[in-house]
Every structure is written in C-alpha cells, then in structure tokens.
Structure 1
Amino acid sequence: MTTTPTSGAPASATGTDAPLLSATDVRTAFHTGRGLMQVVDGVSLTLSEGETLGIVGESGSGKSVLGRTLMGLITNSPGTTVSGTVLLGGKDVHATTPAGRRALWGTEVAMVFQDPMTSLNPVKKIGTHLSESVRLHLGLSRTEAQERAVDLLRQVGIPEPARRAGQYPHELSGGMRQRVVIAMALACGPRLLIADEPTTALDVTVQKQILDLLQSLAEELRMATILISHDLGTIAGRTDRVAVMYAGRLVEYADTATVFERPRHPYSSALIASIPRLDLPPHTLLPTIEGSPPDLLNPPPGCRFAPRCGAATDRCVTDAPGLAPYPGDRDAGVVVACHHPLGAAEEAAV
C-alpha cells in the first residue's frame, strides 16, 4: 500500500506509487445571502487506474459538490471559494486555465450526471450529442464521428443503434437515455469516470442494468471510477473502497468489505442498518437515524454527527475529531473521524 496522506485519508488500495487522482484538503464554499456555506470541508483521497471508489452519504452531505470540484466544474468565482489540491494524472486541475480544464473534460475525466433528461439537449438528435465531443477532442471527420456515435450506442447496449442515433431524447426511455449519457461520457476514452447517482429515477431492474454496465465498462477499459450514491447498498460489491461523507467531511474511509462487515463510525453503521435485508421478516421496520443533518451555514463546533449519535460524549460536542487510523492492527488502512470508533474499546480489552 502507498504511504498514507498526512490528512489521515488512506492511499489507493492498488499499491501504485503514482495515483491517477490525488485530492488533498479539498474545500468548496458557497457565498450566500445568509453567510458562507462550507459544503466540502477538508476532503483528501486518492484513486488509482482501474480502481473504483464509492462516495456515500445522505442527501446534502456534499457528495455531488465534491465530484464536481474534483472534475474542475466548480472553481473559484465571485460566489464560490475552492481551495486544496486536485491532481489528475499529475496535472493540477484547479491551477490550469479554463481552456486547459476543458481539454481535460472528456479525455481525462468525464461525468455521468443524475438526471439524463437534463443532461441531453431536447432539440438535438442522439447522434449529434455523441459526435460533437469526438469531433472536438479527437479531430474526427463528420462521417467518422457518426460511425463512432453508433459504435458507442452499441457498446452501451442500445438496440438498433443506427436508428436510435437519429432520434431525439424524448423518444427514448429513461434507461436508454441514461445509457446515452454513459456513452457520451465514454466517447473520448476518459481515464476517470465520475458517476453521480447514475440510477436516480430509474426502476429497480433498470438500476441494476446501469450499474452492471458501468462496472463491466470500467473493467474492460481499465478506467478508474467514482460512484456517488446516498445508498450503501448500491455500491456493495461494485467498489474497491468506500468514502463515507457527512456534512461535508469524510467520516470513514476504508475498503468496501471492511465498511460493510465492521463499520467503525456510528454514521456508517446506521447507514448500513437502514438497508433492506431479505433475511428480515415481512413488514420489519428498518432503523432510522433520528434528527437532521446540521446547517452548514452554522455547523456545530464538535463532531457534526454528535447531535444524532447515541454514543456521543461531552468531548464529541466540543472537539471535532479528525480522520485518523483506526486503533489496532485488525483493520489496518481504515481511517475514521470519531473519538469513540465502534469496536475499539472491545478490541483493546482483548
């Protein structure tokens, strides 16, 4: 394993010396009429070629904003403050010019957005959506770009791709539109794909098809993937590592199997407990997390999860925990932001 970053976030699980993506102390704040809203607050993580990272947390935890910040879609502006370092393939995403960032989009990094209908121009044909980017970035002729568009539709499993390329977004189902958005993201062969809630508003069967498609394409193309979701069940078995976010901060960062088998942060444990299970009797009520996430305009001084945590102490209310390696040797490589990580006291007594 590579060296653990000084922030406490573990390095990539693949053991490469030069990760494809390296984010250090990333912060994104929005200037609002009520004050400064710190939506991403000191996130550090790494990702290697071919690795898949899941970012999970409740709605409003900062997942989508983090994804857009890593991609360079959110930058410093009169209404936004971004700090920290994001290196993609050794290039500083936020230190480059707007033209330099546009050159990265599509070829180095691409994103699959939540709602495929709003990602597609309703007055442009499907083939046009796909051919525009390959003509711009790859320099293909119009005919070559059209052929590439049909090949991409075939690659993502759309039947009759040549006919579909001549249709408009409203003529396709929601699942097919999402496949088109995935094809758009893959058009120029990016090294990193960020999928932000890619199964939103799709039925369960189509959700599985889309997730299976993303997984198979990532394996086939050796593409690094960040899968953003509010549901831990969505990323089970589909990621190498999991970063759990709460109120703009990482609270746990570990390999996927460890998070599911032995979650160390109370928030991670509560999220896993809320997943429906087939072995439970019918009509069993699932546990819920009482209370609401904090107001990011005025977050609590200590642990941001403390008001909703049954194990919180006076220290948790006043002293914000930083990411630190889990104590003990059993879960080496796990980092958790908690003064009283689950299982630590019991293992220390053994």
Structure 2
Amino acid sequence: MTAPTTPLLVVDDLRTVFHTARGAVRAVDGVSFTVARGETLGLVGESGSGKSVLGRTVMGLIATGATTTVTGSVLLDGQDVHGLSRGRRRRLWGPEVAMVFQDPMTSLNPVKRVGTHLTETLRRHLDCSRAEARDRAVDLLRQVGIPEPARRLRQYPHELSGGMRQRVVIAIALACDPRLLIADEPTTALDVTVQQQILDLLGSLVEERSMAMVLVSHDLGAVAGRTDRVQVMYAGRTVESGRTRDVFAAPRHPYTEALLASIPQLDAPPHTVLRAIEGTPPDMARPPAGCRFAPRCAVRHDDCAGAMPALVPLSMPLSVGSPAASYDREVACHHPTTSAAFAAPGGPDGR
C-alpha cells in the first residue's frame, strides 16, 4: 500500500435503481467515495449490501433503460465514465480500468483456450502481433504464479483448478496495465490457503504496478492489513468509512461492530458459540423507514426508525495504540458508539 495522493476515481452520489414488478430496488443508494492513485480501498458488507452492483456501476457495466436507472457521477481521472458512448467506454476497459469478477468458474468462456482469452485482449488494446501477444500472455501467466505458462495457454478453463482460473482472470485484468483495478470478491469459492495466495498476489501486483484498487469483500479479514481505507456498506448505503486501521480498532457504527464481533477468534475456548447478527438484511424493494439497520440493531433508539441518518464526519480520540491521537471518520448513525472493544484479529491492523 502506498500513501494516497490526488484522486484517480471520484464517485459522487451514485444510485442504481432496478425497476421490478415488486417496485423500485435501490441497490446502490447515494454512495460517494474517492480512490487516490496508488491507494487501496476496501468495500465490505454482507451479501446483498450492494457492493458488487456498485463495482459494476462504476465500471459502466450496468445497462440502463426502462428497467434500470443510474444517476450520480463517476469520474476516472476527471473523465465522466457514464457520459461516454459505449464504444469509448469499451476503450477504457483494460488500459484504464479493469475488473476481476466474482466467480472464476463462470468468468472465462469454456470453449476458448486460456491463450485466446489473453491474446484477444492484448491485440485489441495494444495493437501487437500474434507472436508479441503470445509472448506477453506467457509472461503475464508467469507473473501471477502459474507454472508452465506456455503449456497453460493451450488449455481450456475446465482443465484448471479454481485457484488457477482465478489467477488467469487476474492476468487478463492486468494485461493492459490498468491504472485502477476493481476486485469483486476475488476469493469466492476458493480454499482458504488459495484465498490467502490470491490476496497476497493482488497486493504485490498493486504495489509493483503502482495501481489503485477497490477490493470488494464480505470478509473483513481480507481487507485488514491490505487496504488503506475501508467503506462499510449496508442495504445499498455507506454506514461507515475511514482509515482501515482506525475502523478496525474502534468501530463507530453498530453494524461495523457486529461484523467485527462475528469474526471467529483463534484464541477463543473450544465450543465457543459464534456471534451472529440477528435478523436478515432488509427487502430492498420495501426497505424499513429510518435507519435500515435499526430492526437488527442491538442498541437502537426510538428515533432510529424515524429519519434516515446522514453520513457525516465524526472525530474522536483514538485510545488504541496512541492515546493522544485523533482521527476523522464518516458515520451514518443517530447514536454512534464509542467502544473500542472490537479489535481486528491479531491487532488493530488485522496482522
């Protein structure tokens, strides 16, 4: 991770609404954030919180029309992504911004060889010959840790393991040296040891290439120690954001506290009952009035069901590590907590 500089990506009041027979589903409901050059931002939250839709909307992959509405702005290095024609937007995919999709089992075309997936991307965007594209494809597979890369080019996706397929997907995303990488649940359905390898690989590649990255995950352990900042989403909205170390050391939103408290602890006694968040995420076609987390919140007040809390800057002293330090945080809660009891496994930075 590198120190953030000027913003490469600016997302402002982004909203993605799906118009269904049951009503309007506000999958992304007024989300704003920035990502600086060389910075890694973590987007976390339960399944159904809107993280993947947000990533696809930022990429410009959500088709708008009678059934879908997208509003707000997405600026990539000052260029309005959604204001571009589809042809110009396609030219951004690869050289400027790329995405690692959630499921490596379905991200690759089963009737195309691995080499075809890579070389067609390279030839389209970099205008190189077949031989040059093949040489670069071999080098890309080698960079992502695939053994015998020349032989793998001739194989089909079904001949590779899930971890190998995910490495191929990462190689495709990095083929044209994008400045921004969006990794959407890059370790879904992978073994725990393979998950660690993939996350470490992404971190090292981002560092080597000085890329910015948005790491989307429901796993807080995946973003701890691997991101500069974290943004916690619930029911399509941001409920808390701040520096990763600070958020993990002293969460201010009850939902963030509950997520951290549900992480299994290695030092817990045998047969310890895992903590869980009661209830289920809201029906986004009919979300509750007021705070959307209120029906599941253990510390809710009467006014929580009245008005939707705004995401506002909040400052508090940091009692973990340096007692004299202070930091800024954005929290959407009528009654933000002050407890620093929920620390990430292994310490404030998750290590």
For the criterion TM > 0.5, the same-fold answer is: yes
Mapping of residues 62-73 of structure 1, within 5 Å: 62-73=50-61
User: Residue in 1 aligned with 2:327?
Assistant: 332
User: Residue in 1 aligned with 2:178?
Assistant: 190
- Aligned residues: CA RMSD: 1.2
Mapping of residues 187-336 of structure 1, within 5 Å: 187-328=175-316, 330=318, 331-336=326-331
User: Residue in 2 aligned with 1:341?
Assistant: 336
Contact 2:4 2:39 in 1 (8 A): no
Q: How big is each residue's C-alpha offset from its partner over 1:30-64, in whole Å with a ceiling of 9 and x where there is no partner?
A: 01111110000000000011110110000000000
Contact 2:18 2:69 in 1 (8 A): yes
Candidates 72, 79, 82, aligned match of 1:91: 79
Which amino acid is the alignment partner of residue 336 of structure 1? V
Contact 2:315 2:329 in 1 (8 A): no
Q: Secondary structure at the match of 1:332?
A: strand
Shift of 1:328: 3.9
Contact 2:309 2:334 in 1 (8 A): yes
Q: TM-score, length-normalised on structure 1?
A: 0.92
Which amino acid is the alignment partner of residue 23 of structure 2? G
User: Residue in 2 aligned with 1:104?
Assistant: 92
* Rounded Cα–Cα distance in structure 2 between residues aligned with 1:327 and 1:200: 35
* Rounded Cα–Cα distance in structure 2 between residues aligned with 1:294 and 1:32: 16
Contact 1:325 1:332 in 2 (8 A): no
Mapping of residues 165-180 of structure 1, within 5 Å: 165-180=153-168
* Rounded Cα–Cα distance in structure 1 between residues aligned with 2:238 and 2:156: 40
Q: Is 2:136 the partner of 1:148?
A: yes
* Rounded Cα–Cα distance in structure 1 between residues aligned with 2:331 and 2:204: 31
Shift of 1:235: 1.1
Q: Is 2:40 the partner of 1:52?
A: yes
User: Residue in 1 aligned with 2:115?
Assistant: 127
Shift of 1:76: 2.3
Q: Is 2:10 the partner of 1:22?
A: yes
Q: TM-score, length-normalised on structure 2?
A: 0.92
Length, aligned pairs only: 331
User: Residue in 2 aligned with 1:8?
Assistant: none
Contact 2:315 2:328 in 1 (8 A): no
Contact 1:322 1:337 in 2 (8 A): yes
Q: How big is each residue's C-alpha offset from its partner over 1:169-220, in whole Å with a ceiling of 9 and x where there is no partner?
A: 1111110000000000000000011111110111000000000000000000
* Rounded Cα–Cα distance in structure 1 between residues aligned with 2:316 and 2:265: 30
* Rounded Cα–Cα distance in structure 1 between residues aligned with 2:246 and 2:316: 14
Shift of 1:333: 2.4
User: Residue in 1 aligned with 2:28?
Assistant: 40
Runs of 4+ that moved beyond 3 A = 327-331
* Rounded Cα–Cα distance in structure 2 between residues aligned with 1:129 and 1:194: 19
Q: How big is each residue's C-alpha offset from its partner over 1:287-317, in whole Å with a ceiling of 9 and x where there is no partner?
A: 1110111111111120000001111111111
Contact 1:154 1:161 in 2 (8 A): yes
User: Residue in 2 aligned with 1:7?
Assistant: none
Q: Is 2:126 the partner of 1:138?
A: yes
Q: Secondary structure at the match of 1:333?
A: strand
Shift of 1:332: 2.8
Q: Secondary structure at the match of 1:334?
A: strand
* Rounded Cα–Cα distance in structure 1 between residues aligned with 2:167 and 2:160: 10
Q: Secondary structure at the match of 2:84?
A: coil
Which amino acid is the alignment partner of residue 171 of structure 1? E
- Which runs of no fewer than 5 residues in structure 2 stay unpaired? 319-325, 340-351
* Rounded Cα–Cα distance in structure 2 between residues aligned with 1:339 and 1:44: 20
Shift of 1:234: 1.4
Moved more, 211-220 or 274-283: 274-283
Shift of 1:231: 1.3
User: Residue in 2 aligned with 1:9?
Assistant: none
* Rounded Cα–Cα distance in structure 2 between residues aligned with 1:327 and 1:280: 32
User: Residue in 1 aligned with 2:149?
Assistant: 161
Q: Secondary structure at the match of 2:303?
A: helix
Q: Secondary structure at the match of 2:7?
A: coil
Contact 2:4 2:37 in 1 (8 A): no
